[in-house]
Amino acid sequence: MEANGCLPNITTYSTLIDGFAKSGDLIGATEIWNKMISLGCRPNVVAYTCMIDVLCRNSMFNQAYDLIGTMLEEAEKLVGRMIIQGIKPDTFTLNMLIHAYSKRGKVESAIQLLESMTKVSLHPDIVAYSSLICGISEQIDLEAASVYLHRMIREGIFPNVSLWNFLVRSLVSKIGYVRAVNHMNVLLASN
Which of 59, 87, 115 terminates a domain? The answer is 87
- Tally the C-alpha atoms within 13 A of residue 110's C-alpha that lie toward its C-beta: 27
State mean pLDDT over 166-179.
Answer: 88
Q: What is the 3-state secondary structure (H, E, C) of 101-170?
A: HHHCCCHHHHHHHHHHHHHCCCCCCHHHHHHHHHHHHHCCCHHHHHHHHHHHHHCCCCCCHHHHHHHHHH
pTM of the predicted structure, to 2 decimals: 0.67
How far apart CA 190 and CA 186 sit, in angstroms, is 6
Residue count of the chain: 191
Q: Are residues 147 and 157 in the same domain?
A: yes
Q: What is the pLDDT of residue 161?
A: 94
Of 34, 68, 87, the residue that ends a domain is 87
Number of domains in the chain: 2
Under the banding of pLDDT at 50, 70 and 90, the label for residue 1 is: low
- Residue 174's CATH number: 1.25.40.10
Could you report the per-residue pLDDT of 26-68, keeping only the tens digit for each? 899 999 999 999 988 888 878 888 888 788 777 787 787 788 7
pLDDT score at 95: 87
Closest to 130 (Cα-Cα) out of 166, 94, 155 = 166
Range of the domain at 23: 1-87
With residues binned 3-state (H G I as helix, E B as strand, rest as coil), the percentages for the chain, rounded to 5, are: 75, 0, 25
Same domain, 98 and 109: yes
Q: Is the pLDDT assigned to residue 131 strictly greater than 80? A: yes
